Amino acid sequence: MDTTPKHFLVEYGRRAYAFGLPWFVAEEDEPIRKQAVAFIRRSGGNFDLLGERKGEFPQYTIVSSQEGLKAGALAAASIVAEMMPPESWLYVAKIQDSFWITYGRDGRIMPEGDQIYADEEEAFRAFKALEPGSWKALNIPVEWKGRPLGDSEESDWSNSVETADLKDIFQKPTKSTVRLQALSSTGTILKALALVVLLGGVSFGAWHFLAPSPQGPTPEEQALQAQQLAELAQQEKDRIFAELDANKPWEQNPPAPSIIAVCLQTLRSLPISPAGYLYESAECTSGTVTASYQRGESHPGWLREWAKTHTDLQVDVDLETSNAFISTGWEQPPARGPETLSDYVEVARFLNESALLIDGEMSYTQPLEFTYEEYPDYVPLYGTSDITITTTQPEQWSLALERLPGIVINTVRRQADSLSYTLEGQFYVSNR
């Protein structure tokens, strides 16, 4: 039986959860994405998905979609890290026929602290090797409650051990929950690294082709050889730079107004008070809108009956609180296609002026440029800034953003208590 750790993707409702990911600690004084790209470049791995854990304990995970994972999936280990005390935790759960072990200390998921085991006995041996008694919080599968930890045939679990239940994890994600995102620059990085090797091969072949006779080259022949080698090297360098320039992530995304429009329409189509439940908030991202509802004077059974007549919606009831989540899907608008970027000063000026005229709060970060150590003279084509807008007038902001190139909106949230919307995304600016 194959008992080696592996990645695992679980679909629950309209969300996907990823298990068995590698974790890395991020430096606090440098953008996480930049650190991840630098690591990928050094390792040469075929990674195209990135998950960023921001906040007090910055971390990241990088994986490949070729291993069955996908953009939009939630990192289950980050959800457990939010649930547990930051001092230390050890959490084991059964997933179908496999066992998942995740653990962390000092608020961070350990580098190997997110593992899947196909064989129960191997999982239990790995669990015992972690010295379960040394963790502040300990959760185990119900199947393990009667198993002895040592050589004794009797169980020696303490009464403080909690039973792991995956339904605790399959809840509405928070702002700090890690979500896998496509790392569009990875493929370009790997192509560039391959071209570096090719450049070396071309130069070596050119040298042998132009090699002087045994009598030795004349000064004129040496000059010609040097010129031809320099031309070959420049051609290969130009080719590499063209490959880097061809990476334009904003052109693969729909226009910001299109995403805002479809999100607003879908958010507003959800019921306000289904079967007596009270609408709290909703989030539109990655082709799905999920709304959370609080239970008032209603009963979960009423909501389940209501759901039978609304088959276009996915309804989930929280077993502990009886609160609920209602989800529905939406179709991604087409990509915007070719679009020329503006410079950062021009974009920033327009955004600041728009913020003076339109209700709400707007903030953005300084642009991040993806540089390459092996090409110190390459000037990046673009820089990327994160942008967040909270407003009661999302349509007005949509009209404003329509006038700017390079704007990408990934998430639209709606709050019932304030009747406000939050738009989150990035904007790309020209660096040349």
Residue 211 is part of which domain span?
A: 185-245
- Mean predicted lDDT score pLDDT of the chain: 85
3 state SS of 404 = coil
Q: What's the pLDDT score for residue 236?
A: 82
Stated pTM of the model: 0.54
Looking at residue 376, which CATH number applies to its domain? 3.30.70
- Residues 164 and 25 occupy one common structural domain: yes
Range from 16-20, 89-93, 97-101, 233-237 carrying the lowest mean pLDDT: 233-237
pLDDT in tens, 150-209: 554 444 555 468 888 888 888 778 878 999 988 754 444 444 344 444 444 444 443 343
Based on the number of CB atoms within 10 Å of its own CB, is 120 exposed (0-12), middle (13-18) or buried (19 or more)? middle
Give the CA angle between residues 228, 231, 236 to the nearest 5°.
Answer: 130
- The amino acid at 11: E
Residue 374 included in any domain = yes
Give the CA angle between residues 335, 337, 343 to the nearest 5°.
Answer: 115
Rounded distance, CA 240 to CA 194, Å? Answer: 10
- Residues 84 and 232 occupy one common structural domain: no
- Residues 218 and 80 occupy one common structural domain: no
Residue 1 included in any domain = no
Q: What's the pLDDT score for residue 150?
A: 57
Structure tokens at 76: 């289950």
> Is pLDDT at 212 greater than 60 in this prediction?
no
Q: What does DSSP assign to residue 319?
A: T
Average pLDDT over residues 109-130: 92
> Is pLDDT at 286 greater than 80 in this prediction?
yes
> Is pLDDT at 251 greater than 80 in this prediction?
yes
Residue 98 included in any domain = yes
Based on the number of CB atoms within 10 Å of its own CB, is 156 exposed (0-12), middle (13-18) or buried (19 or more)? exposed
For the chain, the C-alpha Rg in angstroms (whole number) is 27
- Residues 145 and 56 occupy one common structural domain: yes
- Residues 176 and 46 occupy one common structural domain: yes
Buried b (16+ CB within 10 A) or exposed e, 167-194: ebbbbbbeeebbbbbebebbebbbebbe
Residue 3 included in any domain = no
Q: What's the pLDDT score for residue 29?
A: 77
For helices 394-401 and 344-357, give the axis angle rounded to 10 degrees: 150
Residue 321 included in any domain = yes
- Residues 17 and 155 occupy one common structural domain: yes
**Higher pLDDT among residues 386 and 416, named by residue:** 386
Give the CA angle between residues 174, 175, 181 to the nearest 5°.
Answer: 105
- Residues 301 and 267 occupy one common structural domain: yes
Residue 339 included in any domain = yes
Structure tokens at 233: 């090297």
Question: Which strand ranges, in their side-by-side order, compose the sheet holding 15-19?
Answer: 8-12, 15-19, 74-75
Rounded distance, CA 1 to CA 224, Å? Answer: 63
Backbone angles phi, psi at 113, to 5 degrees: -90, 35
Domain count, the chain: 4
Average pLDDT over residues 298-321: 91
- Residues 369 and 406 occupy one common structural domain: yes
Average pLDDT over residues 367-376: 80
Structure tokens at 417: 């208590």
Residue 195 included in any domain = yes
> Is pLDDT at 354 greater than 60 in this prediction?
yes
- Residues 346 and 303 occupy one common structural domain: no
Range from 22-31, 381-390, 405-414 carrying the lowest mean pLDDT: 22-31
Residue 101 included in any domain = yes
Rounded distance, CA 392 to CA 407, Å? Answer: 20
> Is pLDDT at 292 greater than 60 in this prediction?
yes
> Is pLDDT at 424 greater than 80 in this prediction?
yes
> CB–CB of 8/18 below 8 Å?
yes
User: Which of 307, 329, 351 is the last residue before a domain boundary?
Assistant: 329
- Residues 52 and 93 occupy one common structural domain: yes
User: Which of 182, 201, 224 is the last residue before a domain boundary?
Assistant: 182
Rounded distance, CA 406 to CA 338, Å? Answer: 10
- Residues 176 and 189 occupy one common structural domain: no
User: Which of 146, 166, 182 is the last residue before a domain boundary?
Assistant: 182
- Residues 91 and 221 occupy one common structural domain: no
> Is pLDDT at 16 greater than 50 in this prediction?
yes
Average pLDDT over residues 288-307: 91
3 state SS of 207 = helix
Question: Would you place residue 288 in the very low, low, confident or very high pLDDT band (cuts 50, 70, 90)?
Answer: very high
What's the per-residue H, E or C state across 113-174?
Answer: EEEEECCHHHHHHHHHHCCHHHCCEEEECHHHCCCCCCCCCCCCCCCCCEECCHHHCCCCCC
